[in-house]
Amino acid sequence: MIINRPRTEPTAPFERFALVVPAAHLSVAPSVVTPGRLLGSAAVVVALVGVVLGGLASTRSAGGRDGRRGAVVALTAGPAGMIMGGLVVAAAKGGPGTGYGVVGGYAALAIGLIATGLGVLALIRARRTA
C-alpha cells in the first residue's frame, strides 16, 4: 500500500540538500570485521597467550628453566597485549557496537594485567627454587 503525501517545499534554500543520516550508522553488525575489531581481537589473543604461558610457568616453576622462560614470555605478552588494547581504546571514536574494537581493547587491558601478574608470580617462584 503506497501512501501519497503532499510534497512540501523546503523553507531554507539549502534545506533540500540537508544530510539526513539514520541512527543505524552508529552501530555495525556483529558479523562485520572492522580494522578496530581485528586489532582488538589480536590484542586479546596476545594477552591470552601471556595468561596461558604465565599459568603454565607458575605451575612448572619448580622445574627451573622452563618456568623462567614462560614467566619471561608472560611478562612480555601481557604488557604487549595491554599496549595494543590501550591503543585500540585510545583511537576509538565510539563505544561498544560501533566497530572500533572497544570491547576487545578493554578485555585486552584486563587480560594483559592478569598475564603480567602471573608472569611476576612465576618469576618469583622460579627464582626461589633456583
The residue ranges of every structural domain in the chain are 44-129
pLDDT at 39: 92
Residue 39: Cβ within 10 Å count: 20
Q: Residue 8 — very low, low, confident or very high, per pLDDT cuts 50/70/90?
A: low
pTM across the whole model:
0.73
Q: What is the band of 21 on the pLDDT scale with cuts at 50, 70, 90? A: very low
Neighbours of 86 (CB within 10 A): 17
Mention every residue, 6+ apart, whose C-beta is less than 8 A from residue 60: 66, 67, 70
Q: Which amino acid is at 55?
A: G
User: What letter would DSSP give residue 11?
Assistant: S
Check residue 95 and give its pLDDT. Answer: 83
In the block, which residue shows the cell 587491558? 109
User: Using CA atoms, how far apart are residues 125 and 68, in angstroms rounded to an integer?
Assistant: 9
**pLDDT the model gives residue 99:** 81
pLDDT-derived band at 119 (thresholds 50, 70, 90) equals very high
Please state the separation of Cα 38 from the chain's center in Å. Answer: 8
What is the biggest distance separating any 2 CA atoms in the chain, rounded to whole angstroms? 86
